Structure 1
Amino acid sequence: MAAASFIFEGTSGNFDRLVLENSRRGLVLVDFWAPWVGPSMRQREMLSNLAQEYAGRFLLVSVNTDEQKPLAERFGVRSLPSLKLFKNGEMLAEYHGVQPEADYPRIIDEYAAKLVDQVSAGAIAAWQAGDPDKALQLLAEAAVSQPDNLSYPALMAKILMRQDRIDDAHQLLCALPEVFQNESQISGLLAHLDFLQTAAGADAKADLEARITATPEDAEARYQLAAVCLHEDEIEQALEHLLLLSRQVPVYRNGIARKGMKALLDMLDSADERVARYRKELFRLNY
């Protein structure tokens, strides 16, 4: 799905549909700005980049207060920029003025919707009760009836991964149309699976370290080393190798290092200080 699908211009005519109705399905950020206010242009740029980075975890609606004065009055906008967060048809929070760069990903992570429907809840209950086959069957049937709902194959892959059926999980996701594989909830899992498969076939850690000491630009060795570090639960070392690889050879395997970083950060608790720190580094890679 194109990044533009997650960014819209808000007006009095479409605001209720774009913001209030969509907020019942997930998080919506409304950025009130004006072209003559420098800080609001900076916030607008950062939020647009994050909308591309998060690829669907939130919807961004941009409101030009010069053109949409009734909307600004309706929501009590007194200073610019003003950021308001909506969920379930109501405003959850608001922020006045430009926030520190690293705070935007933290705010989004804190409020982003993580909805679980009844089918997924039933599958999770079956898995927890020791019946993974039933869980997979429920999800497979739902995936057939709702092929556009990627939460079903994503949860199937996670269950397979918990059973150490790594190749089966990878096969399942690779069978999805390419446009779905590029969606964040699937691409992140594919990156994680790639880590696991890479670690299983990687050279010895000491050999990999020797290779990148001799040739720091050895992309294959650095990626394998990141995968081995992750396998050994050395999360920060894995993130550092991926960050360096993203800087040195950003096009390596179609940006797999960057995708891997995003996948690792999604695994961590949003309160983990590494999440904000490394999301900030990811954000800087855009410039």
Structure 2
Amino acid sequence: MSDAAYILEGTVDNFDRLVVENSKRGLVIVDFWAPWVGPSLKQREIFVDLAKRYQGRFLLVSINTDEQKPLAERFAVRSLPSFKLFHQGEMVAEFHGVQPEADYSRIIDEYVQRQPDPISREAIAAWQAGDPEKALQLLAEAVLADPENLALPALMSKILMRQQRTRDAHALLSSLPEQARDAVEVRNLLAHLDIIVTAEDADPPTTLMQRLQADPKDADSLYQLAAVRLVGDDLEAALKLLLEVARSHPGYRNGIARKAMRAVLDQLDAGDEQVAHYRRELYRLDY
């Protein structure tokens, strides 16, 4: 694992010092994993990426349950992956199973205050004052100076959307490198924009349905019809169509159907049975 100061390996001997004591100064996430559990390896990668992105605003302690069985027993870890949050000297939350990727940042942000971004604040102030072009110029200059800060193009795209410039917003985020397009700050926003643009460009629903009668696995028609249904607030029909694309054509447009499903589900009540059903279906596709 990385030797960064904010990503550490936990053991029976150092647990209280690394976790309990450090949690009195800030958030500590304890990730229980095992090398033979595929989903736990996926979660571990997500946490390592987030730890690097948050630059020390939380401490990640990774525990291999094969090597540290007493810790797994101490915290009643019965399934993997599992992670627990420690804050102010106590365990404050625990989660079992892989979570939707966007949820990890939301969980962390409940306990970690992100550093304020002066450029973003200035851009928002300009937009609120009725000068969106100044806001966009400020952000464009900031992107050139700090291309790793993905919050900047994300904010640019939101301002463009408010100006009814959906295609410009979509083009902006689509032009980012692939790794940036898959980042938490960008992925869901880009998926929403893609749905809107696809729905605008789609053929009439009757035409799409005729094509699907001739070829029920036509990925383009399935995805276009899903976009039309989603923009038309027919959520159940849209999710069924997106799931069909994800199942039948997992590589279609770099997995856009799965990304769109996650973006939609992340906006809905996690306790809703419909949401839970489609999250389970996504989990089956991933693992």
Quickly say closer, same or farther: Cα 1:52–1:255, change in 2 above 3 A: farther
Shift of 1:10: 2.0
1:228 aligns with: 228
Q: TM-score, normalised by structure 1?
A: 0.71
Shift of 1:110: 5.9
Shift of 1:197: 1.8
CA contact (8 A) 1:124 1:135 kept: yes
1:77 aligns with: 74
2:109 aligns with: 113
2:209 aligns with: 209
Shift of 1:255: 1.5
Quickly say closer, same or farther: Cα 1:34–1:213, change in 2 above 3 A: closer
CA contact (8 A) 2:86 2:92 kept: yes
- State, as a whole percentage, how many aligned pairs show the same letter: 48
CA contact (8 A) 1:28 1:58 kept: no
CA contact (8 A) 1:229 1:238 kept: yes
Shift of 1:153: 0.6
Residues 1:11 and 2:34 aligned together? no
Shift of 1:258: 1.2
The amino acid across from 1:245 in the alignment is V
Distance in structure 2 (CA, Å) of the matches to 1:89 and 1:170: 44
Q: Which SS does the other structure have where 2:286 is aligned?
A: coil
How many residue pairs get matched? 262
CA contact (8 A) 1:34 1:80 kept: no
What RMSD over aligned residues (CA atoms) do the two structures have, in Å? 4.1
Shift of 1:28: 6.2
Distance in structure 2 (CA, Å) of the matches to 1:121 and 1:57: 23
- Which structure 1 segments of 5+ residues have no match? 36-40
The amino acid across from 1:230 in the alignment is L
1:92 aligns with: 92
1:185 aligns with: 185
CA contact (8 A) 1:191 1:256 kept: yes
- Which structure 2 segments of 5+ residues have no match? 53-59
2:264 aligns with: 264
Distance in structure 1 (CA, Å) of the matches to 2:179 and 2:273: 32
Distance in structure 2 (CA, Å) of the matches to 1:215 and 1:86: 53
State which of 41, 44, 48 in structure 2 corresponds to 1:48.
41
Quickly say closer, same or farther: Cα 1:112–1:125, change in 2 above 3 A: farther
Higher relative contact order (CA 8 A, sep 6+): 1
CA contact (8 A) 1:30 1:85 kept: yes
Distance in structure 1 (CA, Å) of the matches to 2:42 and 2:161: 31
